[in-house]
């Protein structure tokens, strides 16, 4: 859409709303409604000029993106290709390069997101990694929020090693003589500075990863790890449901109790390939933003004994992207 077309659309929207305001001025019965319409017009026009037009203009050479491409794109891409021998560098496939550059129009100002797009582009330019990139990986990146990156990085780091691709996960239910009620879904042992911390969006992030095909979640399935699933009872989500176990005066037959259902979260082959392509599986650097306590499974109630040994070492995976706030 050219600039003239954008201007015409804006003028059309303005004139249409202007007619509503004009009618309201001429009709006493509609005067009050006209006042509200005038306020709406001001809000809409402010939105058009401050939000919608800049977004439209971004596709046609927004100044900040153009400046990024002139001044920073080449050096940053060279840095992403630093470990690739010169003779292995090739032109990327248009099916990768096109969507990556289109995404950078909107994402180039966020350092963490931009690095992942550049890493994917670098993978596509590396003959030694030929075939490890996939056009759909761009769409996966588009559907991961910047606030979500520390969490997905914690899950995907170490994806190259099968022993690091399975995580204990749990859900908490309320149980009584009348049945079960789900209370907390897809709980992982998220921590900050080694202490359990609750994050409002954490379960939603897991749902997003399942939707994107990065992980699978299975219930009931108990991974045989040191300490089992005792970590659940130390978490704020579990402690916050203690009121369920206070006997109600109106419930003569009993009261609710908290019930933990063990499960397993596993990276899919698609998730592992994505982690390698955008280099999320690289070792973390810097200070952690959010941590995920890792309990390496010795065996699963669903699977045959895993090859090992994979002794529990109690380590944490500490991402170095984004800023995440949680409830302590």
Query: How far apart (Å, rounded) are the C-alpha atoms in residues 318 and 65?
Result: 31
Q: Where are the alpha helices (DSSP H) in the chain?
A: 3-26, 31-47, 53-58, 63-71, 73-80, 94-107, 111-124, 136-142, 149-156, 202-211, 236-239, 269-277
The residue among 130 and 259 whose pLDDT is bigger is 259
The tokens describing 33, both together, are 């409604």
Handedness of CA 170, 171, 176, 180 (dihedral sign): negative
Instruction: Return the number of other C-beta atoms located less than 10 Å from residue 312's C-beta.
Output: 13
Residue 327 contacts residue 198 (beta carbons within 8 Å): yes
Q: Strand pairing of 215-218 and 179-187?
A: unpaired
Going from N- to C-terminal start, the domains of the chain cover: 3-58, 63-142, 148-317
Q: 126: which DSSP letter?
A: B
Mean pLDDT of 201-212: 97
**119-123, 168-172, 297-301 — which is least confidently predicted?**
297-301
Cα separation, 203 vs 305, in Å, equals 29
How would residue 161 be classed by pLDDT, with cut points 50, 70 and 90?
low
pLDDT at residue 247 in the model:
61
12: left (phi > 0), else alpha (psi -120 to 50), else beta?
A: alpha
Among 116, 160, 108, 157, CA closest to 139: 116
Q: Which of 63-72, 173-182, 191-200, 215-224 has the lowest mean pLDDT?
A: 63-72
Q: For residue 91, what is the DSSP state?
A: P
Backbone angles phi and psi of 296, in degrees to 5: -65, 130
Residue 248: which pLDDT band, with cuts at 50, 70 and 90?
A: low
CB atoms within 10 A of CB 13: 15
Categorize the per-residue pLDDT at 114 as very low, low, confident or very high, splitting at 50, 70 and 90.
very high
pLDDT at 328: 37
The Cα 200–Cα 190 span in angstroms is 11
Dihedral, CA of residue 54, residue 56, residue 59 and residue 64, to nearest 10: 0
CA dist 297 and 263 (Å) reads 12
């Amino acid at each position: 859409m050219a600039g003239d077309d954008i201007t015409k659309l804006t003028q059309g929207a303005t004139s249409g709303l202007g007619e509503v305001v004009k009618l309201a001025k001429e009709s006493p019965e509609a005067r009050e409604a006209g006042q509200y319409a005038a306020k709406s017009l001001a809000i809409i026009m402010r939105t058009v000029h401050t939000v919608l037009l800049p977004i439209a203009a971004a596709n046609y050479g927004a100044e900040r993106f153009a400046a990024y491409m002139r001044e920073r794109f080449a050096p940053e891409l060279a840095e992403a290709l630093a470990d690739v021998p010169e003779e292995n560098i090739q032109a990327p496939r248009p099916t990768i390069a096109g969507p990556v550059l289109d995404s950078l129009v909107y994402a180039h100002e966020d350092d963490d997101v931009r690095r992942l797009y550049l890493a994917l582009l670098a993978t596509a330019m590396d003959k030694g990694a030929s075939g490890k990139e996939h056009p759909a990986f761009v769409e996966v990146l588009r559907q991961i929020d910047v606030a979500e990156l520390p969490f997905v990085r914690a899950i995907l780091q170490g994806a190259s090693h099968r022993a690091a691709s399975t995580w204990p996960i749990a859900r908490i239910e309320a149980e009584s003589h009348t049945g079960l009620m789900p209370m907390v879904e897809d709980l992982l042992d998220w921590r900050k500075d080694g202490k359990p911390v609750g994050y409002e969006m954490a379960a939603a992030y897991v749902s997003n990863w399942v939707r994107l095909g990065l992980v699978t979640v299975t219930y009931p399935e108990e991974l045989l790890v040191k300490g089992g699933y005792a970590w659940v009872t130390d978490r704020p989500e579990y402690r916050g449901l203690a009121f369920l176990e206070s006997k109600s005066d109106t419930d003569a037959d009993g009261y609710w109790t908290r019930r933990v259902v063990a499960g397993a979260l596993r990276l899919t082959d698609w998730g592992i390939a994505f982690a390698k392509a955008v280099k999320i599986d690289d070792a973390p650097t810097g200070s952690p933003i959010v941590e995920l306590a890792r309990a390496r499974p010795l065996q699963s109630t669903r699977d045959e004994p895993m090859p090992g040994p994979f002794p529990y070492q109690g380590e944490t995976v500490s991402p170095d992207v984004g800023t995440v706030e949680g409830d302590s």
